[in-house]
Amino acid sequence: MSDEVSRETPSVPPEARRVFASEQLPLAERYAHLLATEGVVRGLIGPRETPRLWDRHLLNSAVLSEAVPQGAAVCDIGSGAGLPGLVLAIARPDVRVTLVEPLLRRTTFLEEVVEDLGLDRVTVVRGRADDLHGQETFDVVTSRAVAPLERLLGWSMPLVAPEGALVAMKGQSVHEEIESARSFLATWRCGEPEVMELGLEVVFPPTTVVRVPWADPARIGWPLARERKRRSPRHDRRAARER
């Protein structure tokens, strides 16, 4: 990947050493540089975001590590420029990360970054989340600012392994989203959502995530995906209300 673009990369904050091991921090710095240069030029991140790349994006994503088990297989849907999936892969070299993104210009950037940083446990998939339904499951399915929870369930839960969970980064409206999604949580046979505040000593405000497991790992709801694809969204909503 070219370094020809001249743009100032923000300095590394001391908090970065709390989430990136000493051997991983140079990779995080390199990724920050690529975001501030190629990422801006390609329209993957706004130029006004460059001064706050670390606190608003990298650290905010890296603290997701607190909710990811050791050696987990992670799927990040709607990866965009690699947030949070690519950051998680840098912070946690023990996990295997699959980045799912439908847009070519974004997957091209992700593939170039993965090669540049030598992240051999990261796979980039160009496509939508539902393209992977029925093909593979993961211990953690994550996302950042992709969709309201009720839609996210339909995209993410078919990818969640029986003992796994959806772990989505959310904002302050997370509790309202949970209440709005109650019927969908029942339809998908999900367990009770857990709201978690991550990175309390790293970022302010802390990163808010919602964790949604299966209610019964022996009776997961993902086979409903086949039926849902043949129905209209209006039918889905009515069925969820009637369940």
- DSSP bridge pairs for 213: 165
CA distances from 228 to 2, 54, 97, 148, 165 (A): 44, 39, 27, 18, 20
On whether 134 is known to bind a ligand per the annotation, the reply is: no
Residue with tokens 């499951």: 137
88 by Cβ neighbours in 10 Å (0-12 / 13-18 / 19+) ranks as buried
3-state SS, residue 226: helix
On whether 144 is known to bind a ligand per the annotation, the reply is: yes
**Is 112 within 8 Å of 104 (Cβ atoms)?**
no
**Is 123 within 8 Å of 145 (Cβ atoms)?**
no
For residue 25, give the amino acid letter: L
Q: d(Cα 131, Cα 140) in Å, to the nearest integer?
A: 17
**Is 150 within 8 Å of 177 (Cβ atoms)?**
yes
Among 49, 60, 45, which Cα is nearest to 15's? 60
Q: d(Cα 144, Cα 186) in Å, to the nearest integer?
A: 23
On whether 211 is known to bind a ligand per the annotation, the reply is: no
- DSSP bridge pairs for 76: 99, 142
Binding-site members are: 78, 83, 144
Binding-site members for S-adenosyl-L-methionine are: 78, 83, 144
